[in-house]
Amino acid sequence: MGSKVRIELPFGEFFFRDESTKPVILVATGTGFAPVKSIIEDALKRKLARPLKLYGGARSERDLYFLDLARKWQDEGHVEFVPVLSNPGATWAGRTGFVHRAVVADHSSLAAYQVYACGNPAMTRAAREELMRAGLPEEEFFCDAFVQTDMLETEAS
């Protein structure tokens, strides 16, 4: 009794920067949606007035497991949602291609934005490069790249 326990919490860098007033673009693929969802829900809970635009990327429509929630946010007027499929089916009428390229296509300059990108490392690397070429300041790009567990096990062997 009376013992002290010392803990150290994670030092993550993928969090919403409150001090900015810039509009926010969020880019998510696959399980990268979970941290982006957390950022959006926190911003909505705190009633932050910054515009939020979510680009959700996936191979096919069935891979957009967050589709209903993102559309709900959009219908409620909280978040503009742009789903982008890289391998759409014949019935898909939405955006196609790589999700980060949809961001570039929609904005003549990204100089006035903050971007939060989360998903596979190939997407976050490509997004960083292409968004910065489109004017996004380096200090306004925040990302969290997810690596699959089986990739880690292969690299460790």
6 domain-assigned: no
Distances (CA, A) of 116 to 39, 52, 68, 124: 9, 11, 21, 10
- CATH code of residue 146: 3.40.50.80
Does a structural domain hold residue 58?
yes
Question: Do the domain assignments include residue 13?
Answer: no
Q: Is residue 70 part of a domain?
A: yes
- Across the range 137-156, mean pLDDT stands at 65
pTM assigned to the model: 0.84
Max Cα distance, the chain (Å): 66
What pLDDT sits at residue 152? Answer: 42
Query: Is 8 part of any domain?
Result: no
Q: Summarize the confidence of residues 44-57 as an average pLDDT.
A: 92
Domain extent for 46: 24-156
State the total domains in the chain: 1
User: What is the distance between the alpha carbons of residues 87 and 59, in angstroms, rounded to a whole number?
Assistant: 5
User: Does residue 82 sit within a domain?
Assistant: yes
How far, in Å, CA of 69 to CA of 147, rounded? 24
Strand 95-96 versus strand 114-119 pairing type: unpaired
* Joined tokens for residue 105: 């296509």
Look at residue 79 in the predicted model and tell me its pLDDT.
95
For residue 12, tell me if it sits in a domain: no
Q: What is the pLDDT of residue 135?
A: 96
pLDDT digits (tens, 9 = 90+) for 71-100: 999 999 989 999 999 999 899 999 999 999
Query: pLDDT value at position 13?
Result: 65
Can you spell out the DSSP letters for the chain?
A: --------------S--TT--S-EEEEEEGGGHHHHHHHHHHHHHTT--S-EEEEEEESSGGG-TTHHHHHHHHHTTS-EEEEEESS--TT--SEES-HHHHHHHH-S--TT-EEEEEE-HHHHHHHHHHHHHTT--GGGEEEEE---HHHHHHHH-
Task: Indicate whether 102 belongs to any domain.
Answer: yes
